[in-house]
Amino acid sequence: MSTQTQAPSSHERPGAASATPAIEISGLTKIYGSSETKSVDDVSLSVPAGTVFGFLGPNGAGKTTTIKILAGLLAATSGHTLLNGYDVTRRRSAAMQQFGAVLEGSRNVYWNLSAWQNLLYFGRLKGMRTAEARSRAEELLKGLGLWERRSESVGGYSRGMQQKVAVAAALIADPPIVLLDEPTIGLDVEATRTVMEWVRTLSRDRGKTVLLTTHQMNVVEELCDRVAVIREGKVIADLRTEELLSQFRERDKYEVRIEGDLPDEALPDGFTAKAHEGTTTISGRVSDPQEVYALVDRLRDRRAVVQSLAQVQPDLEDVFMGLIKAPAHD
């Protein structure tokens, strides 16, 4: 980058610069307008440099609000957010140079401009020289398979291509931190894979810090080193991804599908049933598969026609539900 940034002052980051977390959030609270609810409630998180950090939670938990505060788009009600040691409020200009972001549901790029024009525009905005921005834009567009169509306006692209341009725009100035709010939402399998491979490369080969939100378990499993789970504005877990997943592998989840409705008194404790288009799916987590065989016997005794029995991987909703029920983590 052509723009020089002064180091954070000592009162902001006492101690060795190398120990500075890439992202540090302390006591962050956000209350929108005259609302009585805290959309973000005393959140504190520390993300070491080079980590892919999953910021997870059910709908409306406060993820986007937190990311918007980190990106300087929204003022916090209280608390502090620092990017590479620069306080987003007090050292705004320096903090803004530390990251690139793709925000959920926002038009991150201009639809009436081409991919090429967008990247040059965002490069200039970040203070890059034209030659530097051109060379970086070419590298990014080729890497994402958009080079051939670089001159078409982004509005005519598919959703996946638009998302790729947004990712490229976030990376134009080669920022050390990348904030990605649901980067794979609405993408097909191939585009999802491309974005995921990019995130992996950014972290493993280029040492970037990535904070991402997602509702997709495979994205968490494949990419994230560490995750924090937020619910109703509060962080309810902050742990290594392996620890999170191992908690949910201890008990297997099964699904039994039957024709028609659930017979009376056929549902044992710990299982739930959902009817859909003439079938009913019964699901539950068990520590012993015998519990599932007992369920199948019970259904057959009540003359239900069992169509299938399958073991399924936990999804993020299961993970959240498990954490909500689990004792609080430190």
Ligand X SMILES: Nc1ncnc2c1ncn2[C@@H]1O[C@H](COP(=O)(O)OP(=O)(O)OP(=O)(O)O)[C@@H](O)[C@H]1O
Which residues of this chain interact with ligand X, rule CB under 6 A?
32, 39, 57, 59-65, 104
Comparing CB distances to ligand X, the nearer of 63 and 126 is: 63
Comparing CB distances to ligand X, the nearer of 20 and 64 is: 64
**12: helix, coil or strand?**
coil
Name the minimum Å distance from CB 312 to ligand X.
Answer: 22
Name the minimum Å distance from CB 70 to ligand X.
Answer: 12
Comparing CB distances to ligand X, the nearer of 18 and 35 is: 35
Contact 75, 69 (CB under 8 A): yes
The type of residue at 120 is L
Comparing CB distances to ligand X, the nearer of 310 and 324 is: 324
Number of C-beta neighbours around residue 253 at 10 A = 17
Burial 291-319 (b: 16+ CB within 10 A, else e): bbeebbeebeeeebeeeebeeeebebebb
Name the minimum Å distance from CB 222 to ligand X.
Answer: 20
CA–CA separation, 323 and 312 (whole Å) = 18
Name the minimum Å distance from CB 243 to ligand X.
Answer: 22
Strand pairing partners for 226? Answer: 53, 240
> Measuring CA to CA, which residue among 82, 74, 80, 83 is closest to residue 39?
74
Comparing CB distances to ligand X, the nearer of 140 and 223 is: 223
First to last CA, the chain: 39
Name the minimum Å distance from CB 62 to ligand X.
Answer: 4
Name the minimum Å distance from CB 184 to ligand X.
Answer: 13
Beta strand pairing call for 177-181 and 99-102: parallel
Name the minimum Å distance from CB 257 to ligand X.
Answer: 29
Comparing CB distances to ligand X, the nearer of 32 and 111 is: 32
Number of C-beta neighbours around residue 153 at 10 A = 14
Name the minimum Å distance from CB 101 to ligand X.
Answer: 14
Backbone CA torsion sign across 88, 92, 93, 96: positive
175 phi and psi angles, rounded to 5 deg = -70, 150
Contact 177, 226 (CB under 8 A): no
Return the structure tokens found at 253. Answer: 């989840």
Comparing CB distances to ligand X, the nearer of 51 and 64 is: 64
Strand pairing partners for 23? Answer: 47, 83
**42: helix, coil or strand?**
strand
Q: Left if phi > 0, otherwise alpha if psi is -120 to 50, otherwise beta: which for 180?
A: beta
Comparing CB distances to ligand X, the nearer of 4 and 35 is: 35
